[in-house]
Amino acid sequence: MASMKKIFAGLMILFSSTVLYAQEFNVTVQVTSPMVEGTEKKIFETLQQELYDFVNNTRWTNYNYKPEERIEGTILITVESRSGEDFKGKMNLALRRPVFKSSYNTTLFNYLDRDFDFKYVEFQALEYSDNVFTSNLTSAIAYYLYVYLGLDGDSFAKNGGSPYYAKAQNIVNMGQNAREKGWKAFESQKNRYWLIENLTNPAYASIREAMYRYHRMGLDLMADDVEAGRAGINESLELLRKANRERPGLFLLQLFLEAKRDELVNIYSQASPMDKTRAVNILKEIDPANSNRYQKILENNNTGSTGNTGGK
């Protein structure tokens, strides 16, 4: 009887740890092949399930995440052509983060990687190691997961994402001999190489600080004090302007704005006339191609504190 009680107690501990703690990610993974002819569609379903398990059931950090802490996002792979084991396609990536005391989720990352070619054999185990470039498929996915972890970390603590960016940088270093595109500096000004270069380059540290201030000192404060939260976002815009003046058109800055344009319009449409004018001037300076979208802030006559994300 005593031994049975010990076994039961052990099972309860194991069950409790399973319930209370989870892996880092709760990411939706989808694989589509609208342009691939043929009837062998099951291979894409298999790939989707295997990638889902790879992303969400692998231990990526040493931290025990509670279920409600899991990082949410999406990975959408569109296969455009296939020849045997060789697949050519693109990958849409999006990362979300909850806002404190709110049901609202803000977008941290929204990017289309157009250079995603890989080899895949159905039912063959997906291999990955932090220290060996085993395949373009798993290395590219792992790279973006570490970027996800880094961006999420930066939004909660100043430079909180640094350990994860180092992991992503290591994958880029190992990918320099890969035959597939996306890993080398000379291939493009907007690829995996330059994304992690921008994130780890001390010269662009003001953008990472802006990420922290925008989320932790901005959005997260709005539930209790909209004006204090907007003040934090004002500071983040000044940091972005500083970065843009030092290096106009920086890839990382463009990605930040891609994720935040509509949100910024909503936030400042509810602001005071002075804050509206200042924000619009900065946004038009750092993102001139979208000046018309920011002009809507001045055209909106609503002013006040009606929502924890400026009306969202």
The HSE-up count of residue 39 (CA atoms within 13 Å, CB side) is 0
Q: 290 with 265: CB under 8 angstroms?
A: no
Phi then psi dihedrals of residue 129, to 5 deg? -145, 140
Confidence of residue 11 (pLDDT cuts 50, 70, 90): very low
Fill in the DSSP letter of residue 67: G
Spell out the residues 6+ positions from residue 183 whose beta carbon is closer than 8 angstroms to its own: 172, 175, 176, 191, 192, 193
Determine the Cα angle at 88 with ends 86 and 93, to 5°: 130
**What are the tens digits of pLDDT across the range 249-281?**
999 999 999 999 999 999 999 999 999 999 999
pLDDT at 41: 85
pLDDT at 38: 74
pLDDT at 306: 38
Distance CA 151, CA 69 (A): 15
**What are the tens digits of pLDDT across the range 169-187?**
999 999 999 999 999 999 9
Residue 311 pLDDT > 60, yes or no? no
| Type of residue found at 63 | Y
pLDDT at 300: 79
Distance CA 19, CA 25 (A): 15
**What are the tens digits of pLDDT across the range 105-131?**
999 999 999 999 999 999 999 999 999
Q: What is the 3-state secondary structure (H, E, C) of 240-256?
A: HHHHHHHCCCCHHHHHH
Residue 304 pLDDT > 80, yes or no? no
**What are the tens digits of pLDDT across the range 19-72?**
456 789 999 999 999 989 876 789 999 999 999 999 999 999 999 989 889 999
Measured from the Cβ of residue 202, the count of other Cβ atoms closer than 10 Å reads: 6
Q: 58 with 51: CB under 8 angstroms?
A: no
Counting beta carbons within 10 angstroms of the beta carbon of residue 212, is it exposed (0 to 12), middle (13 to 18) or buried (19 or more)?
Answer: buried
Cα–Cα distances (Å) from 245 to 27, 195, 204, 234, 258, in that order, read 36, 19, 11, 17, 18
pLDDT at 16: 38
pLDDT at 241: 98
Phi then psi dihedrals of residue 249, to 5 deg? 75, 20
pLDDT at 302: 59
Distance CA 87, CA 81 (A): 6
Alpha helices in the chain (DSSP H): 2-20, 42-56, 136-156, 162-174, 192-200, 205-215, 226-246, 251-269, 273-286, 291-299
pLDDT at 18: 41
